Amino acid sequence: MRNRMAFGSFVAIGDSFTEGLNDELPDGSYRGWADRTAAYLAASEPGLRYANLAVRGKRLGEIVDEQLPHAIDLAPGLISIAAGANDILRPSGHPDALVGMFDDAVRRMGATGATVVIFTGYESPQLTRLRRLRDRVMEYNDHLRAIAGRHGCLLVDMWAMDVLRGPEMWSDSLHLTAEGHQWVTLEACRVLGIPVPADREDPWMPQISEPVEV
């Protein structure tokens, strides 16, 4: 686990993955890895401010145009971005068309002084069935790893998370279950240096207080 200073605030941008689709609460709303991670971060940073701006179905260009300026205006200590999957899934989607836009987004976020964390794509059941799509995601992931290295941002490499390949992690061919989101939370916490009071072999951690939303 890396050592870190307090972030103070956390803003997450992206698509359905960050919105938390299919990690459903009793009231029908969604939680997901970002909300879970913010809650664990708030346990060590009381009063943490948090905003999840992600919207399902959004493509990279929409996230950059609609969510990124708002995220920067909030001046958070930590910004996450997971984006590009909805572009890659389209028949015309190609990783090379996304790299420049993603790289510039990370540059803009880093220029604010915030810690930036990005995510690779994961291997979903749909990718396992469709070799051409799987190859595209693998290529995109290589670009994302290079961007992380170039800008010194943090990387959650979900492609390397073998646990996510289990069928119990998937609510459908593309979206994670609550358990899948909890495993991503564990990995995000490890990368960010957030204390996690549980055995990593058991993803279900004790309930803790939620962060303050902004």
In which residue are the tokens 């909805």 written?
86
**Average pLDDT per consecutive 10 residues, the chain (214 residues; last block may be shorter):** 75 97 88 94 92 97 98 98 95 91 98 98 83 91 98 97 91 91 94 75 57 69
C-beta neighbour count of 128 within 10 angstroms: 12
- Residue 151 CA neighbour count, 13 Å, CB half: 25
Q: What pLDDT is stored for residue 128 in this prediction? A: 77
Q: What pLDDT is stored for residue 169 in this prediction? A: 92
d(CA 99, CA 180): 27
Run of H or E residues at 96: helix 96-111
Q: What pLDDT is stored for residue 28 in this prediction? A: 85
- CATH class of the region 9-194: alpha beta
Q: What pLDDT is stored for residue 1 in this prediction? A: 44
According to DSSP, residue 115 is labeled E
Q: What pLDDT is stored for residue 209 in this prediction? A: 57
Domain coordinates in residue numbering, the chain: 9-194
The residue type at 123: E
Q: What pLDDT is stored for residue 52 in this prediction? A: 97
Largest CA distance in the chain: 46
Q: Write phi, then psi, for 87 (nearest 5 degrees).
A: -80, -45
* 15 touches 84 (CB < 8 A): no
Q: What pLDDT is stored for residue 201 in this prediction? A: 58
Q: What pLDDT is stored for residue 36 in this prediction? A: 94
